[in-house]
Copies of this chain bind each other. A is one copy, B any other.
Amino acid sequence: MRGIAVGIDVGGTNLRGALISSDGKILKRRSVPSEANKGMEFVVKNLLRLIRDMVGNKEVAGIGIGIAGIIDQKKGVLTQAPNIANVRNYPIRKALIEQIGTGIPVFLENDANCAALGENWVGSGRESSSLVVLTLGTGVGGGIIVGGKLWRGEDGMAGEIGHITVDPDGPRCNCGNYGCLESFSSASALRRRIKEVLGGKDIEASVRQRFTRVSEHRIPEVLRELALKGDKLALSLWDEFGRALGIAIASLVNLLNVDMIVIGGGLSNAWELFIKSAIRESRKRALRAPIRRVRIEKSVLGSDAGIFGAGYLVFEGCNGQNSQ
């Protein structure tokens, strides 16, 4: 299959898109605000603007879109989306196809699954026929590829690696469960830990001072900077972060015996601060053959993994090789 695909990553803040060739090259990039806080109509309006701006008079094979949320593939409906206001069963494929009006096919996929497809196509996992991609950000997302195919699950919900229990008596997670991976190894977990530390009685004044003027969303970045300077508290928090990640990795490799684990998402920029404790913990816990087999690598595509994966949906779909 030759041609050009449009790949778009729908984020809570921006829509990031690219024209992608069938051999995995980005030909053109565009980004517009998503206005996701205003609701789905605004997101669709901005998507159309982005698509028209990128495509112009060119002929494209299709449009692939990655969105954080639950997608009903058969119906082309966005069932839920945590970052977009008031979404419930929105028929996004139909809305886009009608308004684009040129008969270009539209493909939808969960953003973490797109990251997995992207990594498998042109990223860290391109040599691999089985891999798990973990995206570490506000939450923890994941995508699973086995036998060369994305496993979407019966409801498109497979790969919720953030909600593996790593400690049944751990902190409450956003999902309502206790001790999920996400409650240890995410930006929201780091924010909670800093609140806990600052709320403690024995806290040194100097520690409190470091965080007094830091806005909440910057906490992970500040913790990274402090740790790189050798700050003990920050180093110990990244160590905790890595340890929980290692427990989850051990369970993943024992369960799936995959070739590769790719770690992406915004927090993968703190790779050197958590990966040692993650690998130490996973080696301690996993069975010998599968942990020897698996390569654990940082995403080379970074935040572009989702865009590439969205583009891949088009080539995959056009080839008639729909994943499971």
- Residues of A at under 8 Å CB distance from B? 70, 129-130, 142, 144, 146-147, 149, 151-161, 163-169, 175, 177-178, 247, 250-252, 254-259, 284-287, 289-290, 293, 324
Q: Contact at A175–B287, with CB atoms within 8 Å? A: yes
Chain B residue at smallest Cβ distance from A175: B287
Q: A146-B151, A151-B146, A175-B287 are in contact. Are A158 and B257 (CB under 8 A)?
A: yes
Chain B residue at smallest Cβ distance from A150: B147
Q: Contact at B250–A177, with CB atoms within 8 Å? A: yes
Q: A164-B251, A165-B247 are in contact. Are A289 and B256 (CB under 8 A)?
A: no
Identify 18 residue pairs between A and B in the complex whose beta-carbon atoms are under 8 Å apart, listed by A's number.
Answer: A70-B289, A146-B158, A153-B256, A154-B259, A155-B290, A155-B293, A158-B256, A158-B257, A160-B254, A160-B257, A161-B255, A163-B251, A165-B247, A165-B251, A166-B168, A177-B285, A177-B286, A178-B285
Of B151, B178, B257, B324, which contacts A155 at CB under 8 A? B257
Of B70, B156, B255, which contacts A144 at CB under 8 A? B255
Question: Within the assembled complex, what's the spacing in Å between the Cα atoms of A160 and B289?
Answer: 12
Question: Within the assembled complex, what's the spacing in Å between the Cα atoms of A42 and B279?
Answer: 42
Question: Within the assembled complex, what's the spacing in Å between the Cα atoms of A289 and B247?
Answer: 25
The residues of B that contact A160 with a CB separation of less than 8 Å are: 254-255, 257, 287, 290
Question: Within the assembled complex, what's the spacing in Å between the Cα atoms of A286 and B157?
Answer: 12
The residues of B that contact A251 with a CB separation of less than 8 Å are: 163-165, 251
Chain B residue at smallest Cβ distance from A80: B289
Question: Within the assembled complex, what's the spacing in Å between the Cα atoms of A165 and B243?
Answer: 13
Q: Contact at B153–A290, with CB atoms within 8 Å? A: yes
Q: Quote the shortest CB–CB distance from A248 to chain B (angstroms).
A: 8
Q: Contact at A167–B168, with CB atoms within 8 Å? A: yes
The residues of B that contact A252 with a CB separation of less than 8 Å are: 255
The residues of B that contact A165 with a CB separation of less than 8 Å are: 166, 247, 250-251, 285
Q: A146-B151, A166-B168 are in contact. Are A157 and B285 (CB under 8 A)?
A: no
